[in-house]
Structures are given as structure tokens and as C-alpha cells.
Amino acid sequence: GDGDGVAETFNVKEFGAPDYFNLLINDTHATKDTFQNTTTLSVSGTMTVTGGTYDAGSTATAVTGLITVNGGLFSATSNQQLFYGGLTVSSGTFTGGGSTVFVGATSGNFLLSGGIFNAPSILNIYRDFNHSGGTFNAGSGTVSFTGGASIQNIYGDTTFNNFSVSGIGGITLAF
């Protein structure tokens, strides 16, 4: 943010795909700003939210590497959030809203080790699901294990609202 002590909203600049090679949202000021996406955002590499708010709103976010929420807030109202390299939430909050979130289509897993994960309408998991800490709020959505890996593992004590399995592999439940 700009550090003026007033919570403000700034548009994330678009440069054309990819928009960024690694993106860090880190407002370290006492009064946090919001960084709002206005069109499809494409990140080739990693995306990390450690302070402030990244607001995808009703636009898509596509990240080829790992996306990490380690403080701050990642908020999506609708549209697709494509996290090809996996999603890690270790502190802060991820709120999926009415969006569809795809995790681990090419690599990486879903890992919730701290913070809060508010599930989107549809959460598609292509690899392992690991809930070792933090809070998983299922809401009214569906978690779908799509079989991107030959075997998908589900670790942790988690309550899902709707649960589906499809794809080529099997599912191993480990609680």
C-alpha cells in the first residue's frame, strides 16, 4: 500500500499474459490496503499474499507455480481461480466465495496448516489434500477430487459439505 494510514483500493496492473513472473502482495502498514484485480491476472511463477488483501473479485487468477497465503486475505467472489502449482494456507484467510478453484492441475497439493480457508462453490483438487491445522469452512460448496494423480491422499480431520471423486486414480483416506 501507500502507507498513508487510510485503507484504500488499488488496481493490480495488467501487462498481458503473463502479467507477472512472481507476485507478492505484502502491505506491512497498520492500516491495510486492498489490491484489486480488474481483468484476468496471469502469474508465471509463484504468488504470495502476506499482508493486505488481494481481491480477485469476479475475475480469474491463473498462477503456474505455488500460491501461498501466509497472512493477509485472498478473496474471490466468482470466476475461476487456477492454481496449477498448488495452494498453501499457513496463516491469514482464503475466501473462495462463489468461485471455482482448481488446485494442483500440474503439480503441488492443497495444504492448510494454519489460518482460515473458506471454501468456494467448487474446489477441484488434482493431487493431495492435507489439512494439518487452521480452519476449513466447507460452506455449501463441493470438494471434488479429480484424479490428476494416480493416487490422491486426504489427510486431516475435515468435514466436507459435498464430496465427489472422479478420474483415473484412487483415493486414500488418512485421518
Work out the pLDDT band at 170, boundaries 50, 70, 90. Answer: low
* pLDDT surpasses 60 at 175: no
Contact at 8 Å (CB) between 61 and 82?
yes
Work out the pLDDT band at 169, boundaries 50, 70, 90. Answer: low
* pLDDT surpasses 90 at 41: yes
Cα dihedral angle (58, 149, 158, 43), rounded to 10 degrees?
-30
Residue 153: C-alpha distances to residues 106, 162, 165 (Å): 16, 17, 12
Q: How far apart are CA 154 and CA 167, in angstroms?
A: 15
Query: Taking the CB of residue 51, how many other CB atoms lie within 10 A of it?
Result: 18
pLDDT of 69? 98
Angle among Cα 63, 68, 73 to the nearest 5 degrees reads: 100
* pLDDT surpasses 80 at 167: no
Least confident of 20-29, 42-51, 151-160, 164-173: 164-173
For the chain, the first-to-last Cα distance in angstroms comes to: 41
Contact at 8 Å (CB) between 72 and 25?
yes
Q: What is the mean pLDDT of residues 5-23?
A: 94
pLDDT of 134? 98
